[in-house]
Amino acid sequence: MTDILDHQIAEPDSLANPRHDWASDNARRRIKKRYGRDRLLRAFGLGAVITALMLLAILIASLTYTGYVAFYTTKVKVDIFLDPQIIDKENPGKTKYRKITKQAFYAYFPDVKNRKDKRNLSKILSSGAQYIVRDYVVAHPEKIGETVTINLPLSDPFDQLHKGVIPRWIDAAGKNGGNGEKMLNPRFKSEKVLVWFDNLVARDMLSSPFSWELFVNADSRFPELAGLAGAFTGSLLALLVCFLISFPVGIAAAIYLEEFAPKNRFTDFIEVNINNLAAVPSVVFGLLGLAVFINFFGLPRSVPLVGGMALALMTLPTIIVSTRAALKAVPPSIREAALGVGASRHEVVLHHVLPLAMPGILTGTIIGLAQALGETAPLLLIGMNAFIPSIENLGLMEPATALPTQIFAWGDSPERGFVSRTSAAILVLIGFLVMMNLVAIYLRQKFERKW
């Protein structure tokens, strides 16, 4: 109390002489404090940015670290005699190639006689190897009767072993108490198969070419053959449907709300709800799609049409909100100018406001679509996580899967190869998102105009 009184008594003096002493210690300290706070704020901001960047870098680095091995496949060069006795020349696609493939591979290990050993030996090759031979013959029917060299993928454990992802021996700790004992990795049947594998390595039959399978194959039970083509096509189809629905509907709704709707309780209510919709969890939109499109309208499950429609529900609020913001950002002077020369309201919107708002609208749309591309939950609910082993039968009304659901499915698989495949698929998805954002930036800069 006395302090305050003293202060008040001191006040009149300083008022009597209003000139502030900028050189006083107090003033200096205050200035110093101010700058200190400036620096603190800047340091906090910078720290936040650096943290975010570091987390992103860690994410990308870990994905790359686990995922890069999926970009190449271990393959073994095998000479195969395309026996005209076995292969049906008229219809080479119908023949069973399992035997031809196995026999050709056994030929490299003449010592292996025992049936059980042979079976184990054949497990070094991917189970899909026979289909690769089949596809080769179908593509080159003139080679029937000749001996050809085909690069066949190894099965997953050997692929991973060659890539150095899994060890041959593991600690037996899990089994009998951790006394430093080693045991054979249970992914391998016996030590013999490892000997055979080393034999292949020694004979320089193995190579690690770039894995086109990852991009051109559809899904497979065998990780060495599983690819993203099916999921990619499914995602594209769903996004196309999503775009075709949400873009026109979103823009129309935004134009109505922004340019034509009267400002009253009802439109306020709509506005609040659209903003709320943008924050609704995507799984809810999936449920809505399930209930309305599949259960009520009886559309088939798992198809990109329904997936796209569910994603469109989710994207619509984003597009409406960003379009309204873009329309609002068009200066009123342009509207007045157009009205002033006698343009009708639709001419004002279509000739002037919409073209000027286009960069913003496109940016918002692409960001909405990028969100939709990465969305998993609604697709899972409408069943768009089908197992698609072939890209031949893909269409709007055919069962399909999408990139995020494919990642989800792979991430759930026990085979070691799917671990790196999952990371690689995430990298592909992220690459796709980055590309979409680059397109958004490009469009924004291209259409940006000054007024």
Partner 1 sequence: MNMNVETPKEPVDAMTFQLPEELQVKVKTRDVNVHYGEKQALFDINLDVPANHVVSLIGPSGCGKSTYLRCLNRMNDIIDIARVSGKIELDGLDIYDKNIDVVELRARVGMVFQKPNPFPKSIFDNVAYGPRIHGLADNKTELEEIVVTSLQKAGLFDEVKDRLKDSGTGLSGGQQQRLCIARAIATRPEVILMDEPASALDPIATAVIEELIDELRQNFTIIIVTHSMQQAARISQYTAFFHLGYLVEVGDTEQIFTNPVDRRTQDYITGRFG
**Shortest reach from residue 226's CB to partner 1, in Å:** 51
Rg, C-alpha atoms of the chain: 33
| CB closer to partner 1 out of 113 and 263 | 263
Tokens of 134: 């089949």
Which residues contact partner 1 by CB under 8 A? 262-263, 331, 333-344, 347, 351-352, 356, 449-451
| CB closer to partner 1 out of 353 and 369 | 353
Is there a contact between 277 and 288 (Cβ–Cβ < 8 Å)? no
| CB closer to partner 1 out of 75 and 352 | 352
**Shortest reach from residue 443's CB to partner 1, in Å:** 17
> How does DSSP classify residue 401?
B
| CB closer to partner 1 out of 86 and 337 | 337
CA distance 78 to 428: 31
**Shortest reach from residue 357's CB to partner 1, in Å:** 12
CA distance 234 to 302: 10
Cα-based distances in Å from 61 to 64, 127, 271, 428: 5, 32, 42, 14
- Residue 169: enclosing H or E segment and its boundaries? strand 169-171
**Shortest reach from residue 48's CB to partner 1, in Å:** 37
**Number of residues written out for the chain:** 451
Q: Which residues pair with 207 in a beta bridge?
A: 75
**Shortest reach from residue 350's CB to partner 1, in Å:** 11
| CB closer to partner 1 out of 310 and 357 | 357
| CB closer to partner 1 out of 115 and 450 | 450
CA distance 162 to 200: 11
- Residue 366: enclosing H or E segment and its boundaries? helix 354-373
**Shortest reach from residue 333's CB to partner 1, in Å:** 4
CA distance 179 to 199: 31
